[in-house]
Amino acid sequence: MKIKCSFRSHLNTNDHHHLYVPTRIMKNLTFKRHMTLKCGNSLLDVICMETKADSLQIMLDTTDSLFASLPNLESIWVSTDERKGIIHLGPVVALLINQSIQTHSLKEYFTECQDWFQRKGGFFYLLPLSSFIGNETGGVVHNGSDWETKDLPLPHLIYNRCHSRKMERSPSFQKALIRLREKDISLFNSGFLAKDEVYHALKDSPVISQHLPETVQGFDSLEEMLTDFQDVFIKGINGSKGRYIMRIQKRDSGFHMRQNTFSTENPLTFPSYSALYKQIRSWCKSTSYIVQETIPFLSIEDQPLDFRFLCHQNRKGDWELVSSVARIAARDQFVANVDQGGRIEKPLLVLQSFFSPQQSRTILKEMKELCIVSAKLLADSLEGHFAEFGIDVGIDESGKPWLIEINSKPSKRTYLENDRIRPSVKALYEYSFSKWIE
């Protein structure tokens, strides 16, 4: 049994750790005089003392500076394990960041997470990369008006939003992951995904393979791909936010290229394949790129169109779709990423501009099913632990869905403004709660 309550902590100088529990809570949960308070993944031996206060507020009076640093929590869940003598307080979740909160583009999202966790019952804070790799207890917590840094108990779950591939591959980061496993702390979305890694994990699935564009690694087959398809994309395997992408079309007059990273001159034309190849190799390392056939996706007023689906594991550990949007590229852009200026619309309304209402519902249902199957297979195939994917899908003229990309650090900007609380925030809480009660 679990009870939602409020929690206060106070630092004393009397060398004791007293946990004051109201009679209303004592009647529903089993407390012993001597127990261990477990907040997230930090432990403190306490003496439980019943109070007659007619409230659902637990108060900790302690000389332990770490537990005393907990902010006032208006809503958090408490349960007891009589056999082990443990009082569980949670869920406690930390989001790993590698830049200052004051300049972070997701500051509004973080505040939304904090508000939702407090509303539903839980404690959410930010974990700086320096604390993570340095094995320190420093966290960033919301004090009601702004974010402040202080020592905090360890979480039971860490959501990895570190935006540095280089850092994730570093020995210090890998050592930190080992420490987490030793402490039985879960971390999900262990790292960035490489595009070739995703393709190889999915290409042998009889269900998914028919929704994947023809793909090769490196430039050895670029000329052959252009001969076969006349139109291809070159994508950096570690590119994100619509960067490090080229679209090349073979025409009677030569080769036409659009790109958004390597040159301010755009588009570019080349009279021969050798001239094209020379330019590409001056920009790119062959093994770091894939070449894909260009599928003629639907477009709106000649602007590229795709669909972003956010998939998340739920309380039962099953994958479910938590949000979906249609993304329309900005003028003069050849990718539909919001970070490249694209705009978002409701998927069904966009589909109905091309297909009948019934066809649109069928296509949307097929896209959703494809995403769920892909998310499950990918999570089962990859090393590490993943509980959230952003999946991009395109639609051709026949209504067939095609997988474009799967992202383990999906944008938090792709949601419809009429959602008061982002679906990704709600999904994070549900997943966190499930990991806490395991």
| Low-confidence winner among 62-66, 224-228, 255-259, 334-338 (lowest mean pLDDT) | 334-338
Q: List 201's β-bridge partners, or say none.
A: none
Closest listed residue to residue 405, CA positions, set 204, 288, 243: 243
**Which pLDDT score is estimated for 390?**
95
Q: Which of 71-75, 185-189, 202-206, 264-268 has the lowest mean pLDDT?
A: 264-268
Write down the pLDDT at residue 359. Answer: 97
**pLDDT by residue (tens digit) across 264-279?**
888 899 999 999 999 9
Asked if pLDDT for residue 413 goes beyond 80, the answer is no
Percent of the chain surpassing pLDDT 70: 95
Could you tell me which of 237, 427, 241 has the C-alpha nearest to residue 320?
A: 427
Determine the Cα–Cα distance for residues 142 and 165; give it in Å rounded to an integer: 28
Please give the pLDDT value at position 75.
96
**Whole-angstrom distance, CA of residue 49 vs CA of residue 209:** 61
Q: What is the pLDDT of residue 428?
A: 96
Q: Is the pLDDT of residue 145 over 90?
A: no
- Residue 374 or residue 220, greater confidence: 374
pLDDT of 414 higher than 80: no
Residues 78-101, mean pLDDT to the nearest whole number: 94
Residue 337 has pLDDT above 80, yes or no: no
pLDDT bin (cut points 50, 70, 90) of residue 417 is: low
Confidence at residue 397, expressed as pLDDT on a 0 to 100 scale: 95
Residues 196-209 have pLDDT tens digits of 999 999 999 999 99
Q: Greater confidence, 437 or 153?
A: 153
Mean pLDDT of 389-394: 96
Q: What is the structure's pLDDT at 25? A: 94
pLDDT of residue 381: 94
Query: Does pTM surpass 0.95?
Result: no
Average pLDDT over residues 297-309: 90
Average pLDDT rounded to a whole number, residues 168-185: 93
Per-chain mean pLDDT for the chain = 91
Q: What is the pLDDT of residue 272?
A: 95
Type of residue found at 93 = V
Residue 332, pLDDT > 90, answer no
What pLDDT does 415 receive? Answer: 56
pLDDT at 127: 96
